[in-house]
Chain A
Amino acid sequence: MSDQDLKKTPLYDAHVAAGARMVPFAGYSMPVQYKDGVLKEHLWTREHAGLFDVSHMGQARIRGANGETSPAKAFEKVVSADYQGLKPGKQRYGVLLNAEGGIVDDLMTARPDDDGLFVVVNGACKDNDYAIIARELAGEATVTRLEDRALLALQGPEAAAVLAAHIPEAAQMVFMDARALTAFGVDVIVSRSGYTGEDGYEISAPAGAAERVWNTLLADARVRPIGLGARDSLRLEAGLPLYGHDLDETVSPIEAGLNFAVGKSRREAGDYLGADRIAKELAGELTRVRVNLKVLEGAPAREGAEIADESGAIIGRVTSGGFAPSLGYPIAIGFAPPAFAGLGTKLKVIVRGKPAAAEVVASPFVPNRYVRKL
């Protein structure tokens, strides 16, 4: 894809004006970093508040058809989470599955109001996701893409104080609350969630208001713009998998350690695509699972690096990895047989032909700071 074919988010001009380095990502021209660089942006978000443009992500409404007031039951055919049990004002993580129980995408689904479900999916997956949802839910629910909306994320320990000045209701929300509100003079959908492990919010706003919201938040000295480079290192430290790297159509949510994305009611009912495999894996039939690795020496082990046991036998592969700015050493996410997944297991990562010591550690690498109660 040439640069001319890349789509632009409503904040493209603001990024360029701020000195961002723009790169192709999920079909969009996106800021990978601003003038501060990845390291400073990462640490700023952990200490203050970082503002991210994630408008490349897909936003859509799923609404009941043929007089059905809620699309939740129909939607549950293709996702593993319990959405019939999703209360008004709440959001829940889930995975879209194929018939083999592999992950087609991971997504957030919210009930911010009475207008069906509001979903946010990965930018690179959205066309395929919407096609699957429309096909599988035909006659029972409809999918409406919200192409005219931007999505901003405000993340970090000072995010709540910053946003409260503009959206007082935001301070009354807890982690995974989602509300449709009027703020900045427009309709917004706000959730207290994100992809950094920090407290924070995601704000869906009409495209026409995006630059105004962006600039208003950036006018606060506690807020700096943060690019996709730091978004990746922040989510890695938070132990959050990235679709297309740690998750793909061969990986099940159980292998990936996302058991919480398979609702309790859904496990009993087994009424969704891939349910057979998931039931077997929940019963212990697993050949590989996600491992979080602390690399104890040498260079960062990045995506594709092989994982070996202490004897040198190759047992798995790194699916994402890099230097962890908040920890000061390299970390990685990968997959290995369950026998090698116990905390403290000594392993090797092969970087440019050289084995380096690594150890299985708990997830998240950096403790998350979600605000679960006020």
Chain B
Amino acid sequence: MRFTKDHEWVVVEGDVATVGITAYAAEQLGDVVFVEVPEAGKTVKQGDGLAVVESVKAASDVYAPVSGEVVEGNAELSDSPETVNALPESGGWFAKIKLANPAEVDALMDRDAYEAFLATL
């Protein structure tokens, strides 16, 4: 699993990256009540808005940690947005993106680097 400073995570299988937000991000957001995930076919560049997650308190953007074409959004989050809090780094994934540039993944932080980054916040 790789991480961004915006608290997204990425897991790569083959040429497809599954993307979500970290447990830290989910904890900071609080109770998630609405999630808007992208539809298949949407093309995103690294850093583009990918999804929107809303807690009781506020709306937050989820940015694409990698460039590529969305092959699937997690439709289950529409009915069960609380999954983002319950399983942020597994079942609460937001989208699967077919990688346009696999090298982008290598430049992201590994778990140790992300933990070290969190310690500075």
| Chain A residues in the interface with B (C-beta under 8 A) | 32-33, 37-40, 42, 229, 233, 298-300, 302, 322-323, 325, 330, 352
Do B30 and A229 touch across chains, with their CB atoms under 8 A apart? yes
Rounded to whole angstroms, the CA-CA distance of A263 and B9 in the bound complex is 58
A selection of 29 A-B contacts at a CB cut-off of 8 Å is A37-B30, A37-B31, A38-B30, A38-B31, A38-B55, A38-B56, A38-B57, A39-B30, A39-B31, A39-B56, A40-B31, A229-B30, A229-B57, A233-B56, A298-B34, A299-B36, A299-B54, A299-B59, A300-B34, A300-B54, A300-B59, A302-B58, A302-B59, A322-B56, A322-B57, A323-B34, A323-B54, A325-B56, A330-B34
How many A-B contacts at CB < 8 Å in the complex? 41
Do A323 and B56 touch across chains, with their CB atoms under 8 A apart? yes
| Residue in B33, B54, B55, B57 with the greatest tally of chain A CB atoms within 10 Å | B57
Do B33 and A300 touch across chains, with their CB atoms under 8 A apart? yes
Nearest residue, chain A, Cβ from B81: A323
Q: Contact flags (1/0) for B13-36 with A, using CB distance below 8 Å?
A: 000000000000000001101101
Rounded to whole angstroms, the CA-CA distance of A325 and B57 in the bound complex is 11
Do A42 and B59 touch across chains, with their CB atoms under 8 A apart? no
Rounded to whole angstroms, the CA-CA distance of A352 and B58 in the bound complex is 13
Rounded to whole angstroms, the CA-CA distance of A352 and B52 in the bound complex is 10
Consensus secondary structure, chain B interface: strand
| Residue in B31, B34, B52 with the greatest tally of chain A CB atoms within 10 Å | B31
Nearest residue, chain A, Cβ from B53: A299
Nearest residue, chain B, Cβ from A33: B30
Chain B residues closer than 8 Å to A37, beta-carbon distance: 30-31
Chain B residues closer than 8 Å to A323, beta-carbon distance: 33-34, 54, 56
Rounded to whole angstroms, the CA-CA distance of A252 and B36 in the bound complex is 37
